[in-house]
A and B are shown apart, each in its own frame.
Chain A
């Protein structure tokens, strides 16, 4: 009986390295993707800080600091105080709920994974942390 001939896989050539311009462009886009948003936010904060500085310079030397603080506090409206208090409470509640969710996820994830692996041993994962957060290396 003739033995079946084993087919030898054709070796695939290793991918050629990208050209310098492609390499630079690719990295530039990766950097923009990663830090673009942060740069925009900090630019806005810097602009606000600059505007605030201009206002304070315009008022400097015309009134004492204590006097100015007292008069400024007197101008703060009750609506503003209430809004800020409400916002503070809402954020605190949100953070508390978020932490509870994370703890629940962390508690249940391992068990679900184990059970699913029994049914599908080749199960693939999303590779998030047990709390369901992005891993640092994926940021």
Chain B
């Protein structure tokens, strides 16, 4: 027979779970989404400043493609979750949709830039955008967090303790790139920005 202390413990636990559920599912996810968009806006603003400094034209295909991808990530950041991406990947595989247009165009546009310094800088902007997206997806999924732990162990074995800080920064991107195909996700993001 269940006594009053047990019922009290049950109700307290239930209330805690409800509060925790509201905090995690509503407030925490909203705060993470805001933080992700903020980070992506920072990268996009820096890209704009870079173009405004005259190093690359605003109508250069590489600049426009990068901005298009970032706009897509910002606009549909709320759908950038493990669950949504997995369903998207399954859909693409099942319906055999080809979805790497953006990557192909991006690589072509990058090759057409003659100045090495500008090319490297744009590649760095692209990498930073991908890092933001990877952090959002990996740190928001318990499953990917576990995989990321394995990724950290692997990188530690390969690169040693000297690069520990760098490894922790690179781990989400490493995990993200090995679990999903970033080219498809970037193309989807860019496509949604156009639509």
Query: Which residues of A pack against B, CB within 8 Å?
Result: 22, 25-26, 29, 32-33, 36-37, 41, 44-45, 48, 52, 55, 58-59, 68, 71-72, 75-77, 80, 83-84, 87, 91, 94, 98, 101, 116, 119-120, 122-128, 132, 134, 138-139
**B88 & A120 in contact (Cβ 8 Å cutoff):** no
Q: For window 68-105 of chain B, which residues contact chain A by CB distance below 8 Å?
A: 68, 70-71, 74-79, 81, 83-84, 87-88, 90-91, 94-95
Cα A76 to Cα B91 in complex, Å, equals 50
Q: Within the complex, which residue of B5, B51, B68, B84 is in contact with A124, where a contact is CB–CB below 8 Å?
A: B68
**A80 & B12 in contact (Cβ 8 Å cutoff):** yes
Query: Which residues of B pack against A, CB within 8 Å?
Result: 2, 4-5, 7-12, 14-19, 21, 23, 25, 27, 30-31, 34, 37, 41, 44, 48, 51-52, 58-59, 64, 67-68, 70-71, 74-79, 81, 83-84, 87-88, 90-91, 94-95, 193
A26 surroundings in chain B (CB, below 8 A) = 91, 95
In the complex, the number of residue pairs spanning A and B with C-beta atoms less than 8 Å apart equals 102
**B58 & A122 in contact (Cβ 8 Å cutoff):** yes
B94 surroundings in chain A (CB, below 8 A) = 25
8 further A-B pairs in the complex, CB-CB below 8 A; given A98-B31, A119-B58: A25-B94, A32-B87, A72-B7, A75-B9, A76-B8, A76-B12, A83-B16, A127-B71
Min CB distance, A116 to chain B, in Å?
6
Main secondary structure of the interface of B (DSSP, over half): helix
- A36-B87, A94-B27, A124-B68 known; A68 and B4 CB under 8 Å? yes
B14 surroundings in chain A (CB, below 8 A) = 48, 52
A to B CB contacts below 8 Å, 11 in the list: A26-B91, A37-B83, A41-B25, A71-B8, A75-B8, A76-B12, A84-B19, A94-B27, A98-B31, A126-B74, A138-B78
Min CB distance, A53 to chain B, in Å?
12
B44 surroundings in chain A (CB, below 8 A) = 126
**A124 & B67 in contact (Cβ 8 Å cutoff):** yes
**A55 & B2 in contact (Cβ 8 Å cutoff):** yes
A37 surroundings in chain B (CB, below 8 A) = 81, 83
B91 surroundings in chain A (CB, below 8 A) = 25-26, 29
**B34 & A132 in contact (Cβ 8 Å cutoff):** yes
Min CB distance, A88 to chain B, in Å?
9
Q: Within the complex, which residue of B7, B52, B71 is in contact with A59, where a contact is CB–CB below 8 Å?
A: B7
A48 surroundings in chain B (CB, below 8 A) = 14, 17-18
Min CB distance, B187 to chain A, in Å?
17
Cα A101 to Cα B70 in complex, Å, equals 21
B8 surroundings in chain A (CB, below 8 A) = 71-72, 75-76
Q: From A97, which residue of chain B is reached at the shortest CB distance?
A: B31
A87 surroundings in chain B (CB, below 8 A) = 19, 23
Q: From B78, which residue of chain A is reached at the shortest CB distance?
A: A134
- A33-B84, A84-B19 known; A128 and B27 CB under 8 Å? no
**B4 & A36 in contact (Cβ 8 Å cutoff):** no
